[in-house]
Structure 1
């Protein structure tokens, strides 16, 4: 017995005062209506209705049960309506995991502009450069930077992420400007520890070289490079301002690898909450193929 169906059937019988009229209202046979009510009474071990040839009447237990059952079914309907509104309109909280340096520099304008259009949406943004488990850790989506790889997750590309190798003018004046990959062995290299293996000759050479400084944060390495500590490979969204101002100079442009990409990754394509779908659609063209941090740069690979 489906208890909710039985409860709805009983309430309809009580309202209509007749098995026949209840059956017509519910679109089922009078025999099935009688069966549902009988099963409900057997489950509760109490008589809910007194039956006569002309009409049914609620017993005392039936009156009490009808009142409670109406409240229960109304609460269930309210819950389902609330969930339906989440699917039909962009409302509620979106929980996002995002890379530290990118989020600090470039995520806030996107979130602000999205909320201007969807004011009923709020954000919980957690910054972390590790690859979080979206499902286990309760995230709606995560922003990730890299090459698209095979995964059970679904990825939506949001923007190109271009890499550049650069150093401070004072450092290059003292140590010389590298012109070929083999020159890297004569330089101080500031290494981002979460850099992944790559097929590009530059990154292969870089990963196999000795590093004088290692960090899991690109901003730390960039500031060290500006101070003259050595060469650094970083995405332009971190170093573009320093390059534009002349604090860092790009080198080895001919060896810079193909751009990476910024992706929004999420777990499910079907039954995606409207708030998440709206955010993905809004974000898709927000940065463009020449993102704000690349505009005005010269000598940066395209």
Structure 2
């Protein structure tokens, strides 16, 4: 059916160009090939469409009727193709995303609101559970993940990198004193995620690994952040995650020259062939997170 429609389109071009040579140049195929295609079309439908002379062509009576019908069909097909292209290029439908809970709530939420405002034809289905979804077997378009990418079979696109710093509440520092060097952290209460018992810190070219401990070990960034504001210890977090607490004065920097190792943030997809909704979302986050 596609070949037949293509031959119809070639026939229309020949008639509009009033000859094979001009039509062949317009469609970019050899003159002889174009002539054979039109002859094959005539055999297929069992009608003679053209009177051929050395200088020009003339439509037969059947050819005139066939041309008018072909032109309408070809024009409609081209319009449908253009509309389909516009539809595929314009993001729409449901975007299903797996997001890290605390990073999404504290940092990504305003960006997502801005993105939703740009594309009113889209709806969103977000999964903010701590588990790492399976992009192969579950119907997610993309997963936003922090830390090293764990699977070489998935496609990871870097969005940004976050550098954690040390923070504590004024109340905690008043009670426990303020550390001046990494070794001082060993006598402080440090709020760690996932039972981390050591922090590696960097100051310029210097790198120090220090043992840390405390009464709390958690798997929730939000809970660690909240406990820090309640004078329970020192945290090592990206400033983007504690921006509100820093702005309000609930937390303040500790040993500002020392920083943790950068934490990469990725958009993970199963394939490189992405629909417009997923591609635009990733591009938007890349652009906004690297400002």
Decide whether aligned partners of structure 1 residues 130 and 211 sit closer, same or farther in structure 2, where only a CA change above 3 A counts.
Answer: farther
Secondary structure at 2:288 match in 1:
coil
Which structure 1 residue ranges, 5 or more long, are not aligned? 9-22, 31-80, 290-302
Q: 1:228, CA displacement in angstroms?
A: 0.8
Q: 1:216 to 1:286 in 2, by over 3 A?
A: same
TM-score for the superposition, normalised by structure 2? 0.63
State the match for 1:126 in structure 2. Answer: 127
* Cα separation, 1, equivalents of 2:130 and 2:237: 14
In the alignment, what sits opposite 1:286?
A: 288
Change (3 A) 1:127 1:250: same
Change in Cα spacing, 1:162 to 1:84, as seen in structure 2 (3 Å) is same
Structure 1 residues 225, 29: CA separation in 2 closer, same or farther (over 3 Å shift)? same
Match of 2:239 in 1: 236
> In the alignment, is the contact (CA less than 8 A) between 1:158 and 1:286 conserved in 2?
no
Q: Which deviations, in whole Å up to 9, do the C-alpha atoms of 1:134-189 show, x marking residues without a partner?
A: 22222100111124566222222223322121111121122111122221221111
1:165 equivalent in structure 2: 166
8 Å CA contact 2:191–2:213 kept in 1: the answer is no
> What is residue 54 of structure 2 aligned with on the other side?
none
Distance change (3 Å), C-alpha of 1:26 and 1:105: farther
Change (3 A) 1:25 1:150: same
What TM-score comes out, normalization by structure 1 length?
Answer: 0.61
Query: Where does residue 44 of structure 1 map in the other structure?
Result: none
Report deviation, 1:117.
2.3
RMSD value, Cα: 3.6
Asked if 2 retains the 8 angstrom alpha-carbon contact of 1:193 and 1:216, the reply is yes
* Contact 2:197/2:212 (<8 A) preserved: no
* Matching residue within 244, 254, 262 for 1:259: 262
Cross-structure match for 1:222: 225
Change (3 A) 1:201 1:95: same
Query: In the alignment, what sits opposite 1:61?
Result: none
Measured after TM superposition, the shift of residue 258 of structure 1 is 3.7
Work out whether 1:111 is the aligned partner of 2:127. Answer: no
What is the Cα deviation at residue 97 of structure 1? 0.3
Structure 1 residues 84 and 201, CA gap change in structure 2 (3 angstroms): same
The answer as to whether partners of 1:95 and 1:138 remain within 8 angstroms in 2 is yes
The 1-side partners of 2:172 and 2:133 are apart by 37
Gaps of 5+ in 2: 5-38, 47-81
Q: Residue 197 of structure 1 contacts residue 204 of structure 1 at CA under 8 Å; is this kept in 2?
A: no
Contact 1:86–1:273 (CA under 8 A) maintained in structure 2: no
Aligned to 1:151: 152
In the alignment, what sits opposite 1:141? Answer: 142
1:274 counterpart (273, 276, 284): 276
Residue aligning to 1:97: 98
